[in-house]
Amino acid sequence: MFGFTRSQYIAFLIMVALIVVSPFVLYPVFLMRVLCAALFACAFNLMLGYVGLLSFGHAAFFGMGSYVTAWTMKFWHLDAFFAMALGGLTGAALGLALGYLAIRRSGIYFAMITLALAQMVYFFCLEAPFTGGEDGIQQVPRGHLFGFIDLSNDMTMYWVVAAVFLGGFLLIHRIIHSPFGQVLKGIRENEPRATSLGYRTDDYKLIAFVLSCGLSGLAGGTKALVFGIATLTDVHYSTSGEVVLTTLLGGLGTVFGPAMGALIVTSMENYLAQAGAWVTVIQGAIFMICVLAFRRGVIGEIANWRKLTL
Amino acid sequence: MIMIFGIPGPLLFGQLLLGLINGAFYAMLSLGLAVIFGMLNIINFAHGALFMMGAFVAWILLDTLGIGYFPALILAPLIVGVFGVILERTIISRLYKLDHLYGLLLTFGLSLVIEGLFRNAYGSSGLPYRIPDVLQGATNLGFMYMPNYRGWVVLAALVVCISTWLIIEKTSLGATLRAATENAPLVQAFGVNVPRLITLTYGAGIALAAFAGVLAAPIYSVNPNMGSNFINTVFAVVVIGGMGSILGSIITGFGLGVVEGLTKVFYPQASATVVFLVMIIVLLARPRGLFGKAA
C-alpha cells in the first residue's frame, strides 16, 4: 500500500523490528534522539534526494519547530499532540515563506540562499525575547498526549516518538511514490523538459519544500518535547550541516539511508562526547571521505552491491 | 557638534567607518569566492576557515618567530595560498566532473576540519594581535577622529580589490583567465595549461582570503570562529551581487558594509539581519543579483 518493493518491504520490517526491540536493550533517551534525527534527515532527503535541491538552512525549520513546541508546552500548557503539530505547522509556514524566495534560484545559489535565510532566522532567534536568547527555553514539561497518556515516562515517550517517526517515514515514502513524487524526480532529472511538458515546476518544488520543512519542524518539536529544551543550537547552521552529513552518509536519495545515517551520526556524537572539538574534525573528515570516495552512502552501497532498491 | 538627521556627526561617521571596514572584508572575501567560482565552478565553503587561517598564521609568525605585521601581510597569504594549491591539487581537483554541490559539501567538510583543528590547538577564546606601532593612534579629520589602523584597512582592501580587478580585466593573464572561464577546452586547445591556471586561481583566491585575515587580526581577536561569523553574510553578499562581475563583488561588498553601518546608527536591532533583508528584496526584484548575468 505504500509502494514498497519486495526488498524495501523486508528492510522496512527489519527497521520496525529494531525500533520495537531496541528500547529493551539500549537507553530509550538515546534512541529517541536517533529517531528525531532520522525524521529530520528523511524530511531533508525529500528535498535533496528527490528534488535535487540542497537546502543548507534546514536548521531554521527544525529549530523554529523546536521553539514553538517548547513555548506552547511550557507557557500555554497545550496537549503534547497540538504542541508537536504546531511545531510542524510552524516549520511548514516558515518553509512556505523562505521557500518562495529560495526557489527563484537553483543549484548552488539555492544552497547559499537557504543558508543566508536560515542565518537570518538564527539572528532573529538570538534577539527575539520569546526564545530566551542564549539560555533557550528550558525545563519544558512533556505533559500529556490526547489528555490521558502521561509522557513523563521514558518508555511511553519512546513509543510516541517511534509512532511519529514511522508516520513521517511512511508519509514521505508515500509522497515519493505518488504521481506528484514522480514529477519531482522528473524535475530533478531534467527541469526544462518537465516545464515543456506543462508542469509548473516552481509550484512542485515549493510544495515539496513546504512538506520537507513541515516534517523538519515536527522533528524539532518532538526533540524539544523529549529533552525538555529548545536552544540556539537547534537553529544554528551547524545543525543544517549535520543533517546534510547524516543524509549523505546514510545514502542520498535512498529510502532507508537517512535513518541509517542518523543512527551512525548520533551514536558517533554520543560516544565521542568527551572528545570535545575533535567531534567537528571527525565529522568534517567523514564529510570529505563521503564526497570523495563514498558518494552513495552506506545504504546506497549496500543496495548497489546486492542490486536492490532500498 | 554637527548633527545629521538628528544623529551626532561623529557617531554617524564612526559607524560609517566601521561599516566600510566590514564592507572591505565582505568585498575581499566575495571577490575571492567569485574568482574561484568562475574558474572552478565550486563555491568554496572553506573560504571563511582559510580567512581565519590567515589571521592565525600571522599570529603564529609573530608569536614563535617574531615576524611582525608587515612581513606577515605578505608571508601569511603566501603560506595559506600554498596550502590552498596543495588542497586543490590533492582533493578538490577530483570533483570537477561531478555536480557542483559536491564541491560545496567537500569544502564545508574541509572548513569543519580546519576550524576544529585550530579550536583544539588554541581554544576558542581568542588571541590578541597588537596593532603595529606605525598605525597606532588616530588622526583628526576635522569631522571625526579616525583610528589610523582602520583607515589603513580600508585603504589596503581598496588597493588589493582594485589591483585584482585590473589584473583580471586589463592584463593578458587576466584575458586568458576570462577566456578559460568562458570555454576551458578551447583555451586548452590553444596551448594554455588550463589545469595549472585553475590551481593558481584557487591559490590566489585563498591568498586573498588570508590577506583579509591578516588585516582582520588586530581588529577582531584571532579566534577559530572568526571566519564562520563572516562567511554566512558573505554568501548573502554574493547572492545580492551575483557572481558574474568582479567589480560588482567589490561594489556590493563595500556597499553592504555601509548599509550595515548605517543600520547600526538608525535601528541597531536590525543591524545583524539587514544584509539578509537586502538579499530578500534583491531576490524578489532581480533574482539573478545586481550584477549577475541571466542564468
Contact between A113 and B239 using a beta-carbon 8 Å cutoff: yes
Does the pLDDT value for residue B154 go beyond 80?
yes
**Closest residue, chain A, to B91 (C-alpha):** A292
Rounded (10°) angle between helices A278-293 and A237-250:
40
User: Which residue among B109, B233, B287 sits closest to A287, beta carbon to beta carbon?
Assistant: B109
User: For the ranges A243-247, B58-62, B252-256, B284-288, which has the lowest average pLDDT?
Assistant: B284-288
CA pair distance A252, B119, nearest whole angstrom: 30
Does the pLDDT value for residue B116 go beyond 80?
yes
Contact between B112 and A241 using a beta-carbon 8 Å cutoff: yes
Q: What is the pLDDT of residue B214?
A: 93
Q: What is the pLDDT of residue B74?
A: 92
Rounded to a whole number of angstroms, the distance from the CA of B254 to the nearest CA of chain A is 18
Q: Which grid cell is A144?
A: 500529556
Of B88, B103, B78, nearest to B201 (Cα)? B88
Best residue of B105, B124, B279 to probe chain A, by most A CBs closer than 10 Å: B105
User: Which residue among B37, B101, B295 sits closest to A54, beta carbon to beta carbon?
Assistant: B101
Q: DSSP string covering B90-111, please?
A: HTGGGGTTS-HHHHHHHHHHHH
CB–CB contacts below 8 A, A to B: 121
Could you tell me the pLDDT band of residue A275, with boundaries at 50, 70 and 90? confident
- Domains of chain B, residue spans: 16-119+142-285
- Per the rule left: phi > 0, alpha: psi between -120 and 50, beta: everything else, A147 is left
Q: What is the pLDDT of residue B142?
A: 72
Q: What is the pLDDT of residue A62?
A: 95
Could you tell me the pLDDT band of residue A271, with boundaries at 50, 70 and 90? confident
pLDDT > 70: what percent of chain B?
Answer: 97
| pLDDT tens sequence across A181-200 | 999 999 988 989 999 999 99
Q: What is the pLDDT of residue A214?
A: 95
Q: DSSP state, B4? A: E
Rounded to a whole number of angstroms, the distance from the CA of B61 to the nearest CA of chain A is 24
**Closest residue, chain B, to A241 (C-alpha):** B108
Please say whether the dihedral angle defined by the alpha carbons of residues A126, A131, A133 and A139, taken in this order, is positive or negative.
negative
Contact between A284 and B116 using a beta-carbon 8 Å cutoff: yes
Phi then psi dihedrals of residue A105, to 5 deg: -125, 160
Highest-confidence segment of A164-173, B189-198, B256-265: A164-173
Does the pLDDT value for residue B36 go beyond 60?
yes
Which residues, 6+ apart, have CB-to-CB distance to B277 below 8 Å? A120, B270
**Is A206's Cβ below 8 Å from some Cβ in B?**
no
CA pair distance A36, A164, nearest whole angstrom: 9
Does the pLDDT value for residue B10 go beyond 80?
no
Q: DSSP state, B131? A: P
Does the pLDDT value for residue B143 go beyond 90?
no
| pLDDT tens sequence across A231-260 | 998 999 889 989 999 999 998 888 899 999
Does the pLDDT value for residue A5 go beyond 60?
yes
pLDDT > 70: what percent of chain A?
Answer: 99
Contact between A101 and B273 using a beta-carbon 8 Å cutoff: no
Q: Sort out which chain A residues have CB atoms less than 8 A from B284's CB and list them.
A: 101
Q: What is the pLDDT of residue B155?
A: 92
Q: Sort out which chain B residues have CB atoms less than 8 A from A120's CB and list them.
A: 273, 276-277
Could you tell me the pLDDT band of residue A294, with boundaries at 50, 70 and 90? confident
How many residues does the structure list for chain B?
A: 295
The residues with which B139 forms a beta bridge, in sequence order, are B146
Determine whether domain B16-119+142-285 maps to CATH 3.30.730: no
Contact between A285 and B105 using a beta-carbon 8 Å cutoff: no
Phi then psi dihedrals of residue A72, to 5 deg: -70, -30
Q: Which grid cell is A15?
A: 527497521
| pLDDT tens sequence across A52-100 | 889 999 999 999 999 999 999 888 888 888 989 999 999 999 999 999 9
CA pair distance A55, B2, nearest whole angstrom: 48
Contact between A107 and B283 using a beta-carbon 8 Å cutoff: no
Best residue of A109, A242, A272, A290 to probe chain B, by most B CBs closer than 10 Å: A109
| Section B189-199 average pLDDT | 89
pTM of the model: 0.89
Q: DSSP state, A274? A: G
Q: What is the pLDDT of residue B209?
A: 94
Provide the strand spans (E) within B133-291.
Answer: 138-140, 145-147
Q: Sort out which chain B residues have CB atoms less than 8 A from A104's CB and list them.
A: 283, 287
Does the pLDDT value for residue A273 go beyond 90?
no
- Per the rule left: phi > 0, alpha: psi between -120 and 50, beta: everything else, B126 is left
Where do the H-state alpha helices sit in A130-277? 154-176, 179-189, 191-196, 201-227, 237-250, 257-271
Does the pLDDT value for residue A221 go beyond 90?
yes
Contact between B106 and A277 using a beta-carbon 8 Å cutoff: no
Phi then psi dihedrals of residue A104, to 5 deg: -65, -20
Rounded to a whole number of angstroms, the distance from the CA of A152 to the nearest CA of chain B is 37
Q: What is the pLDDT of residue B137?
A: 78
| pLDDT tens sequence across B257-278 | 999 988 888 888 788 888 888 8
Q: Sort out which chain B residues have CB atoms less than 8 A from A278's CB and list them.
A: 116, 120
- What's the distance, CA B204 to chain centroid? 12
